[in-house]
Structure 1
């Protein structure tokens, strides 16, 4: 499966393309939940190439989102295996993995319930993932509610 428009819109809504400079470029910033690693740029992009002082254009931010979504979709598809999955469920799971990582999705009760076709139970699991550095964050609470709504639609 590939991410649909709802997936892209959800990620863009909650990641934002933050830290825009007056010249239209974007600068890397520390994770807002921890104030440290991982460093982030554009549409929530992290990685070894994102560190203090990195500056990207809007096009670089957009291109990286497209590349990263392709990668995340492939990894989410792999952990789903042959599990029955609708487009909206897939989109919600890709958004979730984009934010918390595929490793966390892989070991989650959310994924176990999804694979067991307990879609209502899986939908309820999104809300459990609203913390960063042990603290509940309003933005994560809203994001998980939006992902759960998309998953259940």
Structure 2
């Protein structure tokens, strides 16, 4: 395994760990705070109430979605971002989706090279269904700290 693969794998592992810490895991489908059927660590694509997953399936889905989120982050700016920024923003994209991320002030600041400003946008994303959620506030603070730590 070459160094780039090891480093990339480290970013993915760190992002999976961050996502898992904040999403929690449910092997049985449930309705999230905005009414979307969800399973595993916040996975929503095609989920129906009554669905059940194995821990192995959840691991695979979470890694698959983190890889997609990281790809969105990496594709959103022409420059290579520090690993801490990539980890934090992959967790963020996993949670809010590529569409919300792509049209955000955060991405505009990222593209302009204002990485600190981009990281500091994260706490603004603490709402779901129009309501401020304490869990999202805490998650965004953690993501911001990781994002900023990548800049020191």
Partner of 1:13: 21
Structure 2 CA distance, aligned partners of 1:42 and 1:90?
23
Structure 1 CA distance, aligned partners of 2:58 and 2:14?
19
Partner of 2:31: 30
Deviations for 1:25-65, whole angstroms, at most 9, x for unmatched residues? x110111x22x12x1101111102x1111001111111111
Structure 1 CA distance, aligned partners of 2:74 and 2:113?
16
Deviation, 1:79, is 2.1
Structure 1 CA distance, aligned partners of 2:13 and 2:59?
14
- Structure 2: segments with no counterpart, 5+ residues: 1-7
Matched, 1:56 2:64: no
Alignment RMSD: 1.4
Matched, 1:79 2:76: yes
TM-score by length of 2: 0.86
Match of 2:107 among 108, 111, 131: 111
Partner of 1:22: none
Partner of 1:66: 63
Which structure dedicates a bigger proportion of its chain to helix? Answer: 2
Number of residue pairs aligned between Structure 1 and Structure 2: 141
Structure 2 CA distance, aligned partners of 1:100 and 1:58?
23
Q: Name segments (4+ residues, structure 1) moved above 4 Å.
A: none
Deviation, 1:135, is 0.6
Matched, 1:126 2:122: yes
CA 1:74–1:84 in 2, change beyond 3 Å: closer, same or farther?
A: closer
TM-score by length of 1: 0.86
The worse-fitting range, judged by mean Cα deviation, of 112-121 and 124-133 is 112-121
CA 1:70–1:123 in 2, change beyond 3 Å: closer, same or farther?
A: closer
Deviation, 1:76, is 2.3
Deviation, 1:75, is 2.4
